[in-house]
Structure 1
């Protein structure tokens, strides 16, 4: 910051806006990515809190690990319940350790020193300062890696981060009512209170429609072509079931339709996946999406008004026209149909298979499902579907 201009305040500027503006693009992107990770974990780090975090980090010094930690903790967390999740995400994102009670120093992070060069000559002007940027650990790099190409250790880390995923759900108006300060008159509660008071009407009781989470139904393809992704997709389904157990249904499709919602309701992800593997008889088998989707619509009514997510690469061995007819039927029942294809995340991918060409005209959203970042985006989409 040059002398003579650092003391001047522009009328109407937000507090700390000038300080936050001095942060480099790399620093800002790192801090914003950390806020997105917190939102995926259930911490309400919205846009306003993120801007406050950037201003606080600019004031305290974005190159200091302790300053970054406390700036985020004081601006991004809404209450005491968010602190454990904040510490876990901070440790995973920056490669440090979560703070413990009684520790004087905040967790350590990896710090990379960037030296700004002038005109590519490798020299600095007198008075220029070296820019310090808190950079993400290798975990951040894994967020956009294809899960089919991960090592065993990297896959274990992705599974751990999926277990931390907190997927919010769109709220819908229920036909049931709940007591409220404002709303329509509740004659029954008003009459009961009147009788308790000896016939004197002291207060009119009111009620409003109850808000309930919208149901999400997942159909996960477990055929041989989906083998590299099926385990991760089912772990994502486990995160959804854990967050909203009464508003989530999960089925596996291949050569048979299998409901695995009960198995995924176990709290521990490893135990849940063990039960799921025992329950699915056609793991790594063939694909008959059209027939399985017809069986699902004939036997189960949970798709009506729900957000239906189909996770498959579209390699249909049966008649594609049957799949197209059942997708049209599903699109009329569901609120929205989302198709997740792991191959869509690859550059140059085109949906040329018969199954995908038959299904796409009836799909509301066609998204990728090959990485942790793709699953986080899918969870965010489900919260606004």
Structure 2
């Protein structure tokens, strides 16, 4: 057999996918084993695993550190270096048993994301329905899948659906909110600009030839996003921070982002990066209390004392993403939200659980802040986050 380790040289371990012969003969020489191991990586690629050159190099380095005569060690050396996700494990087991038992491994297509699979079904119907009909069907099926994904709960998505959701979220184009400025600009309609009208009269010899009008200029309205990253919000924290990255990229100088937990962390600088993956990685390094406890009242007080009272929250739209589970004093949380309401233009509270059927705002934190927030919104899906963008733009 060319390019493989001889089946008599290594036996298949008993891990549920092959018979274990109870031992192994003396391993082959290194020059004979190396092509077989590289060929095994190629067989895994044929089975659908993403075994690039870096993973193969890591696999060969791991094999050098184990006893190649022990099938279990060889099995685990490949499993920890060549498998990139849980879906790879069954295919790795099957390919390992087939390769080292002398059988030809089954060739499979790589697993496609959920959003791509309906397009294959649409392409299959092209030969019977015509090119134009197949294109329309493919687009309609893909659009329907994206629409279903937009309504799905963020905490219940699979890995493939999360990857597709990130693509959809990257396509969001938030419209920055604006507010009236103290300055005026010339306009066809608006108030009468007496000063410019008089200047025009002097230029025309004192005759009121035309009336000059003006209206207020507009300026971007600041937005502050406070994202709860405690343990109860862990299923939603990653998606909400990616949403915050989209909002920051839309108006980098007018949006601020903080995380709430047992401490307050400012992550605006990290989320201003263009690459979302690098931005999320740097933000994760900055947040030391991820999936920890919840002290909303104390962290909001720190925000107001250090940033909000000094101008960041004044006339701004403040959005708090939290489920309202407060370990500290709920009355303190209510006092700080009331204080925030006196500074901000609008205060929105986004609760992922508010979009579920039968939800009742009975948590101590939610009941304490309800009198002081302008809107209690749902934030459990991409569709609800899109509605939140419209609320911010029209605040």
Q: Same fold judged by TM-score > 0.5? A: yes
- Between 1:157-166 and 1:239-248, the stretch displaced more is 239-248
User: Separation in 1 of the partners of 2:215 and 2:189?
Assistant: 7
2:218 is aligned to 211
2:76 is aligned to none
Instruction: Answer yes or no: is 1:365 the counterpart of 2:392.
Output: no
Count of matched residue pairs = 267
Cα distance change of structure 1 residues 178 and 311 upon mapping to structure 2, 3 Å threshold: same
Structure 2, unpaired ranges of 5+: 1-114, 123-130
8 Å CA contact retained: 2:231, 2:290: yes
2:387 is aligned to 377
Alpha-carbon distance, 1:174 to partner: 1.0
User: Separation in 2 of the partners of 1:206 and 1:107?
Assistant: 57
Alpha-carbon distance, 1:226 to partner: 0.6
2:257 is aligned to 250
User: Separation in 2 of the partners of 1:305 and 1:296?
Assistant: 16
8 Å CA contact retained: 1:190, 1:203: no
> What secondary structure sits across from 1:245 in the alignment?
coil
TM-score (normalised: structure 1): 0.61
2:315 is aligned to 305
Instruction: Answer yes or no: is 1:316 the counterpart of 2:326.
Output: yes
User: Separation in 2 of the partners of 1:334 and 1:95?
Assistant: 47
1:343 is aligned to 353
User: Separation in 2 of the partners of 1:288 and 1:331?
Assistant: 19
User: Separation in 2 of the partners of 1:352 and 1:134?
Assistant: 40
Q: Which has the larger radius of gyration?
A: 2
Alpha-carbon distance, 1:203 to partner: 9.3
2:154 is aligned to 147
Structure 1 residue runs of 4+, over 3 Å off? 94-97, 104-107, 133-137, 176-191, 201-208
Alignment map for 1:50-199 (pairs within 5 Å): 108-110=135-137, 136-178=143-185, 180=187, 185=193
1:52 is aligned to none
The structure with more helix, counted as a fraction of residues: 2
User: Separation in 1 of the partners of 2:194 and 2:134?
Assistant: 53
Give CA-to-partner distance per residue, 1:54-80, whole Å, 9 cap, x none: xxxxxxxxxxxxxxxxxxxxxxxxxxx
**Match for residue 302 of structure 2 among 295, 299, 319:** 295
Instruction: Answer yes or no: is 1:220 the counterpart of 2:230.
Output: no
CA RMSD of aligned residues (A): 3.4
Instruction: Answer yes or no: is 1:239 the counterpart of 2:246.
Output: yes
User: Separation in 2 of the partners of 1:380 and 1:357?
Assistant: 25
User: Separation in 2 of the partners of 1:206 and 1:251?
Assistant: 43
8 Å CA contact retained: 2:261, 2:289: yes
Instruction: Answer yes or no: is 1:259 the counterpart of 2:286.
Output: no
Cα distance change of structure 1 residues 106 and 298 upon mapping to structure 2, 3 Å threshold: farther
Instruction: Answer yes or no: is 1:353 the counterpart of 2:380.
Output: no
User: Separation in 2 of the partners of 1:204 and 1:210?
Assistant: 19
